[in-house]
Amino acid sequence: MSGAPWVLRSLLFVPGNRPDMIAKAGRYGADALILDLEDGVAPDEKARARQVVAGALDAGVPGSPIVFLRVNGSGSGLLAWDLREAFRPGAAALCLPKCETPEAVLTLDASLQALESQHRLPRGGIRILPMIESARGVVQAAAIAGSHARVCGLAFGAEDYTADLGVARTRQGAELAYPRAAVSVAARAAGVDAVDGIYADFRDADGLRADTGAARALGYTGKMLIHPAQVAPVHAAFAPEAAEVEQARRIVAAFEAAEARGSGIVVVDGAMVDRPVVLRARRTLAIASRPAAGRERD
Ligand code: COA
Ligand code: MG
């Protein structure tokens, strides 16, 4: 993610009350895990989930993946308890669900400052990934993305968003066209990355690839997952096609040669290439050469 020390295409949810799943989750090649205390855990399991998550973070999650912790939202009455009982230094970031205001981020920042001094962690190191999953959240998305330097991205949650609006979640997804694009634009405007929400039908790899491709076309660079089988299709959907990479190389080379001759415009494959085209090509090359799963940025 921009501004963050990692590159994340896939963020796999693991229910916080499933030590068996947490123990094996680092094997599946996801770029990050999200240990969940929120909607993946039933109310009467929350207390146990906090203990399981704290124990896993204390012991170190096998495979040393990047670990996010999804706490319960600001309005839940559970957030302070989650932070106190479940947070441990092994968590790199907090996923803040149902985020609707910049103040929710600032309040969480204050709690994180306290946790950082308690655990002797570098100040400001714990990142925040707000989830935008309501009409209010969409309207406030730009303010939320720009609210604090801890914010490493915005995640769009279509399931809760459609529930909030009281509309059906259709396969075509017309109801998501606006909010999904709005969250991506808000993230970009703040210089952070956009992470798309889950694709629930975890046996449908073709549908997942198409859904991820649609998100990528809107500017999303990562996706939340619920099942290990979703890792490979999502990585494939975010990888530029070989032909795209080849064309990007030709564009950059031709442009640099033209620039060296003092010209700002060049024609490649019959189409004009100017600065924005070169910027897109350079971005394609950067994505194509980025480090493998979970590896830190230089
Ligand atoms: N994280 C880690 N491991 C997972 C996993 C996950 N999210 N989902 C499945 N696995 C593991 C299973 O434990 C199983 O491991 P094993 O073969 O070593 O026993 C393996 O992957 C295959 O699982 P499978 O049998 O295909 O799925 P399932 O029927 O056991 O579980 C779900 C299906 C949807 C219940 C499960 O994937 C899940 O709980 N996902 C997370 C849901 C969630 O967090 N929702 C809230 C956020 S939206
Ligand atoms: Mg949600």
**pLDDT tens digits, 101-118:** 999 999 999 999 999 999
What's the gap in Å between 257 CA and the centre of ligand 1?
51
Region of residue 208 (left: phi > 0; alpha: psi -120 to 50; beta: else)? alpha
From CA 32, how far away is CA 97, in angstroms rounded? Answer: 17
Q: What's the gap in Å between 72 CA and the centre of ligand 1?
A: 21
Per-residue burial over 133-172, b if 16 or more Cβ lie within 10 Å, else e, is: bbeebbebbbebbbbbebbbbbbbbbebbbebeeeeeeee
Intervals of CATH 3.20.20.60 along the chain: 10-238
Mean pLDDT of the chain: 93
Atom of ligand 1 nearest to the CA of 22: 2
Is a pLDDT exceeding 60 seen at residue 14? yes
Strands (E), 133-278: 153-156, 193-196, 222-225, 266-268, 271-273
Q: Which ligand lies nearest the alpha carbon of 36?
A: 1
Which residue's CA lies nearest to atom 40 of ligand 1? Answer: 226
Ligand 1 pocket test: pick from 20, 46, 227 the residue with the most ligand atoms within 8 Å of its Cβ.
Answer: 227
Give the atom of ligand 1 at the shortest distance from the alpha carbon of 202: 34
Contact 92, 66 (CB under 8 A): yes
SS3 content of the chain, % helix, strand, coil (to 5): 50, 15, 35
Query: Residue of the nearest CA to atom 27 in ligand 1?
Result: 227
Please check the confidence at residue 53 and state whether its pLDDT lies above 50: yes
Res. 295: pLDDT tops 50: no
- 78-101 confidence digits (pLDDT tens): 999 999 999 999 999 999 999 999
3 — pLDDT class (breaks 50, 70, 90): low
pLDDT bracket for residue 130 (50, 70, 90):
very high
Residues at CB less than 6 angstroms from ligand 1: 12-15, 21, 24-25, 36, 39-40, 198, 202, 226-228
Among the bound ligands, the one closest to the CA of 33:
1
The residue-averaged pLDDT of 175-179 equals 97
Distance (Å) from CA 217 to ligand 2 centroid: 23
pTM given for the model = 0.92
The ligand with the least distance to the CA atom of 198 is 1
d(Cα 157, Cα 127) in Å, to the nearest integer?
A: 19
What CATH number is given for 10-238 in this structure? 3.20.20.60
pLDDT of 64 strictly over 60:
yes
Residue 133, marked binder: yes
Say which residue, 276 or 178, is predicted with more confidence: 178
Short-list 234, 147, 216, 153, CA closest to 188: 153
Residue-wise pLDDT for 210-242, tens only, equals 999 999 999 999 999 999 999 999 999 999 889
* Percent of the chain surpassing pLDDT 90: 85
Q: How confident is the model over 273-284, as a mean pLDDT?
A: 89
Nearest ligand (C-alpha, residue 230) = 1
Give percent of the chain above pLDDT 70.
Answer: 96
Mean per-residue pLDDT, 31-54: 98
Q: What is the pLDDT of residues 133-170, one digit of tens each?
A: 999 999 999 999 999 999 999 999 999 999 999 999 99
Q: What is the pLDDT of residue 292?
A: 52
Structural tokens at position 108: 């969480």
Nearest-CA residue for ligand 1 atom 8 is 227
Q: What is the pLDDT of residue 298?
A: 36
Residue 70 among known ligand-binding residues: yes
Compute the distance from residue 29 Cα to the ligand 1 centre, in Å. 14
The band of 296, judged by pLDDT with boundaries at 50, 70 and 90, is very low
Atom of ligand 1 nearest to the CA of 20: 13
Q: How far is the CA of 97 from the centre of ligand 1 (A)?
A: 21
Per the structure block, which two tokens stand in for 240? Answer: 């530029």
* Distance from Cα 64 to the centre of ligand 2, integer Å: 26
Please report which confidence band the pLDDT of residue 294 belongs to, taking 50, 70 and 90 as the band edges. Answer: very low
